Amino acid sequence: MPLTFDDLVTRARSLAQHEGRAILGISGSPGAGKTTLAEHLVRVLNGPGEPWVAHVPMDGFHLADAELDRLGLRDRKGAPETFDAAGYAALLRRLREETDEDTVYAPGFERVLEQPVAGAIPVPPTARLVVTEGNYLLFDTGAWRRVRSALDEVWFCAIDEDARVRRLVARHEEFGKTHEEAVAWVLRSDQRNAELVAATRDRADLVVPVSALPRVDV
Ligand SMILES: Nc1ncnc2c1ncn2[C@@H]1O[C@H](COP(=O)(O)OP(=O)(O)OP(=O)(O)O)[C@@H](O)[C@H]1O
Ligand SMILES: [Mg+2]
């Protein structure tokens, strides 16, 4: 039997059986469907009751454009070196350790401005499971190694390249790029990152097949 979305829900729920707070990571190439999968998992797990699962994307750890300019990295935005990996690892540690009293705030990412926004995502003490997602969760260099070690499990979203590229172009258009700009960006910048991410797939605890991705009407 191929894996289904319900199987993923069961597996995610079982991670939160132990004391304290569990953190599930979802990785995959740009446009593979990480955010969509995380949103669906969180919605289904939370159900109608008091929320106990939080969604904390890696996206909030994009360096700001002003800092990318200073570093000369603006045209590589989205590459591993354009994120604050150490800051992300530190937040994941806090999410593991500070579970009793205070809300821990994570930064969000504003898609139109393409800028991080501090204090955007509250993780209350009642959150027993955090779902975090991003491209570089399985990297084993520098601070990314600390990211992986803060996670209970990492799943990898696998979809075929044509579908991934098509979706990514559509998403860039939706957020303001012309079709030509979107195609150029995806082939130039996203593609290089996609290859880096694809090389980390073997380190995942679970490769999520297309059969288990949520059905989304687009
Ligand atoms: N299961 C699905 N069925 C249909 N369309 C999907 C599915 N998952 C994602 N998509 C579409 O594909 C596009 C990319 O999805 P999503 O934003 O979830 O990917 P991502 O991996 O988070 O991308 P990024 O790396 O850029 O953050 C979106 O436009 C989304 O609507
Ligand atoms: Mg995403």
Q: 83-100, pLDDT tens digit by residue?
A: 999 999 999 999 999 998
Is residue 216 included in any domain, yes or no? no
Nearest Cα residue to atom 2 of ligand 1: 216
Q: What CATH number should be reported for the domain holding residue 88? A: 3.40.50.300
State the pLDDT at residue 218: 56
Cα 34 to ligand 2 centroid, rounded to whole Å: 6
The count of structural domains within the chain is 1
Is residue 201 included in any domain, yes or no? yes
Q: Which residue range forms the structural domain that includes residue 111?
A: 5-210
Amino acid identity of residue 55, one-letter, is H
Is residue 215 included in any domain, yes or no? no
Residues of the chain below pLDDT 70: 217-218
For residue 116, the cross-strand partners are 109
State the pLDDT at residue 215: 84
Is residue 141 included in any domain, yes or no? yes
Residues touching ligand 1 (Cβ under 6 Å) are: 28, 30-36, 135, 167, 170-171, 213-214, 216, 218
Nearest Cα residue to atom 31 of ligand 1: 218
Is residue 196 included in any domain, yes or no? yes
